Amino acid sequence: MDEYVKSIESQVIPLNVIDTQGSFSNIPFVFFYENVDAADEFMPSVLLQNSFFRTMQEFPVFAGRVKSKGIGNVSIVVDANNINMPDYVEDNSSVHFDSLKAAKYQWSSWPEGVATAGPMTRANSDGDIKLINVHVVRLLRNSGVMIYLSIPHYVLDGEAHMEVMRRWCTVYQLMATNQFDAINELPAYTFDRNVLHQNLPDERKPVDETTYRTFTEYSYLSEWFAWISPEWRGYILSKIVAWQQAEAHLFHVSNASVESLRAALREHAHGIDSISVNELLLSLATKTLAQSQMQSEGRSFDGGVASSGDGKLPVAVIFETRKHLGIERQDYIGNVLIPKIVIQPLDELEAPTTAESLARTMSAFKDTVQNLDAPLIGSHIDMVTSRPSCFTRPITRFSRSKTAMSFVYDIMPDMYKADFGNGRPEWVSPIQPFRANAVLLLTGRDPTDGVDVFMTAYPRVMKEILKNEFWTSFAKIIY
């Protein structure tokens, strides 16, 4: 740890609106490792901690603090004389790995207090927003280890989050085999936000009207929310999420389920074989949520007439754009997520799900998922860069709607590649508390068979989702 402290140099890393537009939440995952061979020294504490802090030398950004100046101008300020130390905790549990496995790793089986940071980015009891939280839980009788890793979206996105875990695993294995010099030869990372601008083309495409209005329409609430401190903003959002009491479930969609759905859609959707599982899930999850919201309010579908509010459901479809910008091979640690805001008519979404009605919803989302390229991304970045306070506008707009949902379109990278030398983790899971009406696609334990779907909703709505025959015939609940 002393070497880590000595390695930190003072610097300021300015963030851009691509960082701050998602800065309200953390990225928290828990990795489960079983001591299959009953080894006396299984993922030893000293080596885990030493390799972690050696890894942190490659990520000096985590030693900084989130600072804002004016409205919307946010930076990570690293002060070598006042380091914001990574939060690294290890303790022992009375829970055996076999108990977790028998319970299929459902959240209720976990030891208490695994998540040392909540779903939203807020200050801890010392008043600091920690930029990385790690909790190592040693299970009963050395039966295994759980590792909780949470990083605020201020710093990076899901792809970069997994890169941090992969690098920790690599450093651990090199230290375990005394290959210390090899650590110094590992590729370096960049935290320079100019990487995005340097990879934008000269050509531009117009941003769609709904997304443009969402980010550009002025509101006093949004401006105030951008003006207050990151700590105060995090406190407010944490209270809102706690008030929501959202219920979460994890589902699995197998390849067989996908092919069955394709077969049912074939006569209604042109080119169905080229349509990705992401696109299928976007349409089906949106319809399922809208129908379940309707039923939770005691309403029923009545001849195609929407009977609530203005009859619209806003959906933020969030895309990972490294490939579009040609930086997927660069070791960029930051955010490259671009949201497109879509308004879908409730009368269509609330209609019972059939192959025909689902095909219509897919058609409505077609431009959203297919009209994404580097010129459009460039226009989005231009739009938000010229309005640094606009990062709060989507969330203040969405927080006023019970039905507005977010859908992360791209599947999270394979988190089961986090191998400390004893093989892939037995299980990887998000934490249960999260904001309502969110859908996240995850790589399953068997990456060759389908995808896992993490879905949240208000409790009354989730009750209806679990009864939705079309959804549950397609997506099988894990827990």
Known catalytic residues? 153, 419
Tell me how crowded residue 458 is: count the other CB atoms within 10 A of its CB.
Answer: 18
